[in-house]
Amino acid sequence: MTDRTSRPQQVMSNGSGGPDVVTGADRVVEEPADRALGYGRRAANQGVRVAQVPRKKQPTRARGKPAHVLAAEAERDRLAPFLPNSAVKKQVGIYDMARFRVAEVRKFALAGGFAAWTNSSTEIFVVPGLEEPANYDALRAALYHEFLHVDQFRTRAGGRPPSKYFTMIEYEVEAYRESAKWLRNPTDGGPPDESRAKEMDKGFRFAEQALSKKRSEKEYKELLVSHKPPYLPQHTGRITSLYCSKRPCELP
Taking CA 69 as the corner, what is the angle to CA 64 and CA 71, rounded to the nearest 5 degrees?
115
Q: Which of the pair, 118 or 28, is modelled with greater confidence?
A: 118
Does residue 6 lie in a domain region?
Answer: no
Question: Cα dihedral sign for 54, 60, 64, 70?
Answer: positive
pLDDT at 63: 56
The C-alpha atoms of residue 203 and residue 215 are separated, in whole angstroms, by 19
The domain total for the chain is: 1
Does residue 247 lie in a domain region?
Answer: no
**For residues 48 and 86, is the Cβ–Cβ distance under 8 A?**
no
What confidence tens digit (pLDDT) does each residue in 62-80 have?
458 999 999 999 999 999 9
Domain extent, residue 142, equals 32-242
What confidence tens digit (pLDDT) does each residue in 98-150 have?
999 999 999 999 999 999 999 988 999 999 999 999 999 999 999 999 999 99
CA-to-CA separations, 121 to 52, 88, 184, 235, in angstroms, rounded: 25, 9, 26, 23
pLDDT at 4: 60
Does residue 23 lie in a domain region?
Answer: no
Read off the pLDDT band of 85 (50, 70, 90).
Answer: confident
pLDDT at 10: 40
pLDDT at 78: 95
pLDDT at 27: 36
Does residue 226 lie in a domain region?
Answer: yes
Read off the pLDDT band of 5 (50, 70, 90).
Answer: low
Predicted TM-score of the model (pTM): 0.78
What integer best gives the mean pLDDT of the chain? Answer: 82
Does residue 8 lie in a domain region?
Answer: no
pLDDT at 8: 58
pLDDT at 160: 85
What confidence tens digit (pLDDT) does each residue in 164-198 have?
999 999 999 999 999 999 999 999 999 999 999 99
Does residue 60 lie in a domain region?
Answer: yes
pLDDT at 157: 76
ω into residue 230 within 30 of 0, thus cis?
no
Backbone angles phi and psi of 219, in degrees to 5: -70, -40
Read off the pLDDT band of 37 (50, 70, 90).
Answer: very low
